[in-house]
């Protein structure tokens, strides 16, 4: 199954109750899951598990329906989507709705651990396996046994770890570092990436066989700009959440602010929107209404450009300008607004970049 995918093509450790399991090896009796077992213990109501997947757009309604279906099977899931689209939220919902919902959900960012430590982190080690290994230690796969293991940023793992992960997926077994015997596990793997894994495979950075093992079921999460009708409800949701956290007064969003939020492109997706609302709640005090001028410069300038150009929406020039502005803003933010470095990244001169910044009204927000 490949959901929300362009047919032209081939985003920390926690231990909350979780659900999901995938099994392949028949050498372990308890790893053979009958259809009856898979259908048991699935929550009758999905409202709680899906409550954080906020949205009323057709894309979100379809995603919510698919999450419920996926939770009832036992396949490995690959979630693809830009940074901030909610990949871990979807993984948790799949877990909570599965028969493993009362078991552990463990999340690990594959890019957060150095290559020298990741094998021990994932598979554990025995005493004396290396300098500093003063006692046996369980790895995260073993800790997640019986539940769901969420591997975020899966494209960041090294070629050697890709081979080791492939064996876990194929045989449901692993070895601790320094150990000779294999250990069996019963865990469902949900992986996520913000990269195009097909491109990674074609360019030799990701194993093709691992890609197919991970992608038994593939989900592509829609970006926020693809579901602008959800921006209002998401903004209201985050407004209530952060006003409550701040123990502040009732706050509303002015219509000018809502229009700006809807018009902005949100390169950071839902996470960026939440940060914007949290900032507005803090800076809007003591007013009971958040106006356009409380929003960040990036949102105000981006949305005003789109609003001014709305009359030519859909034209090639309009779409080209939107893409060019987005790429320039991403480069500036990735370089911490160092114009020389950003210009080099974009293949522009510094003067050329500044000219485009003036044209698109891009300016760094002063803190």
Q: What is the mean pLDDT of residues 195-215?
A: 94
Q: What is the pLDDT of residue 18?
A: 35
Q: What is the pLDDT of residues 224-239, one digit of tens each?
A: 988 989 999 999 999 9
211: tokens are: 């890609």
The Cα–Cα gap between 78 and 210 comes to 11
For Cα atoms 182, 25, 140, give the angle at the middle one, nearest 5 degrees: 50
Least confident piece of the model among 84-98, 196-210, 305-319: 305-319
Q: pTM, whole model, 2 decimals?
A: 0.71
Q: What is the pLDDT of residues 248-284, one digit of tens each?
A: 667 899 988 998 898 888 989 999 999 999 999 988 8
**Residue 118 three-state SS:** helix
**Residue 285 three-state SS:** coil
Domains, the chain, with CATH or none: 2-222 (3.40.50.300), 224-308 (1.10.8.60), 310-367 (1.10.10.60)
Please report, rounded to a whole number, the percentage of residues in the chain having pLDDT higher than 70.
81
The Cα–Cα gap between 250 and 239 comes to 9
Mean pLDDT value across the chain: 81
**Residue 254 three-state SS:** coil
The larger pLDDT score, comparing residue 300 to residue 216, is at 216
Q: What is the pLDDT of residues 111-126, one digit of tens each?
A: 888 877 888 889 988 8
Task: Report residue 201's pLDDT band, with 50, 70 and 90 as the boundaries.
Answer: very high
Q: Would you say 171 and 128 are in contact if contact means Cβ atoms under 8 Å apart?
A: no
Q: What is the pLDDT of residues 124-152, one digit of tens each?
A: 888 888 888 788 889 899 999 999 999 99
């Amino acid at each position: 199954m490949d959901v929300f995918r362009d047919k032209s093509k081939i985003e920390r450790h926690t231990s909350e109750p979780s659900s999901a399991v995938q099994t392949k090896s028949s050498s372990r009796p308890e790893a053979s899951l009958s259809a009856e077992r898979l259908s048991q213990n699935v929550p009758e109501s999905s409202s709680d598990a899906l409550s954080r997947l906020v949205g009323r757009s057709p894309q979100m309604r379809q995603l919510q329906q698919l999450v419920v279906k996926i939770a009832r099977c036992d396949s490995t899931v690959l979630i693809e989507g830009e940074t901030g689209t909610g990949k871990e939220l979807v993984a948790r919902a799949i877990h909570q709705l599965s028969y493993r919902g009362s078991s552990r959900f463990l999340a690990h960012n594959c890019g957060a651990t150095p290559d020298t430590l990741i094998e021990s982190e994932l598979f554990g080690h025995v005493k004396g396996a290396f300098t500093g290994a003063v006692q046996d230690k369980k790895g995260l796969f073993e800790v997640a046994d019986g539940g769901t293991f969420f591997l975020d940023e899966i494209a960041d793992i090294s070629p050697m770890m890709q081979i080791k992960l492939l064996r876990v997926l194929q045989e449901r077994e692993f070895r601790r570092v320094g150990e000779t015997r294999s250990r069996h596990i019963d865990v469902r793997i949900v992986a996520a990436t913000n990269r195009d894994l097909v491109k990674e495979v074609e360019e030799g950075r990701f194993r093709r066989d691992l890609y197919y093992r991970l992608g038994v079921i593939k989900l592509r999460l829609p970006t926020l700009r693809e579901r602008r009708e959800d921006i209002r409800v998401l903004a209201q949701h985050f407004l209530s959440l952060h006003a409550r956290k701040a123990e502040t007064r009732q706050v509303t969003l002015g219509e000018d602010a809502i229009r700006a939020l809807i018009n902005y492109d949100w390169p950071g997706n839902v996470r960026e929107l939440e940060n914007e609302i949290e900032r507005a709640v803090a800076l809007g005090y003591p007013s009971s209404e958040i106006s356009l001028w409380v929003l960040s410069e990036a949102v105000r300038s981006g949305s005003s450009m789109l609003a001014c150009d709305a009359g030519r929406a859909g034209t090639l020039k309009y779409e080209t300008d939107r893409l060019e502005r987005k790429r320039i803003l991403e480069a500036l933010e990735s370089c911490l607004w160092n114009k020389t470095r950003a210009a080099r990244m974009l293949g522009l001169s510094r003067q050329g970049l500044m000219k485009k910044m003036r044209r698109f009204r891009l300016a760094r927000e002063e803190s």
